[in-house]
Amino acid sequence: MTQHTLMLIKPNAVEQHHIGQIITIVEQHGFTIRNIRMFHFNDVLAHRFYNVHEGKPFFDRLIAFMTSGDTVALLLKKENAVEELRNLIGEVEPEKRKPGTIRYQFAEGVTENAVHASDTIENAAEEIRLIFG
């Protein structure tokens, strides 16, 4: 089934000039870019976007990181887009990352993991609405 999903290229990857490389990888894996936006998370939007993590020990650090610089949002389309993109970006934990994944290539840590991808169809719809309106 064709789906839409959201990918964020996080501030560390933007700052390190990896936007083009990451987009190329995504396109080479058959995703179609339906929309693209560069923006800067403000505190309110970051809290709304990451509210599922509120109360967790890493929440404040995550918000500080995501509001620290520009982010690039990609609205992507593909068959089984949510699962396919999650597989392409790889694991959050550095020791679990597989070669060839985006996080293996570009992440600098657990929080500074270069990219975000929606984890469910429902979350994708909500995240797309938050970022693209």
**Residue for token digits 């109360």?**
55
- Asked whether 63 and 108 are in contact (CB, 8 A), the reply is no
- Asked whether 131 and 26 are in contact (CB, 8 A), the reply is no
How far is residue 71's CA from residue 68's CA, in Å, rounded to a whole number? Answer: 9
Q: Which of 4, 18, 40, 116 is catalytic?
A: 116
Q: Can 18 be counted among the known catalytic residues? A: no
- Asked whether 70 and 84 are in contact (CB, 8 A), the reply is no
Phi-psi region of 132 (alpha: psi -120 to 50; beta: other; left: phi over 0): alpha
Active site residues: 116
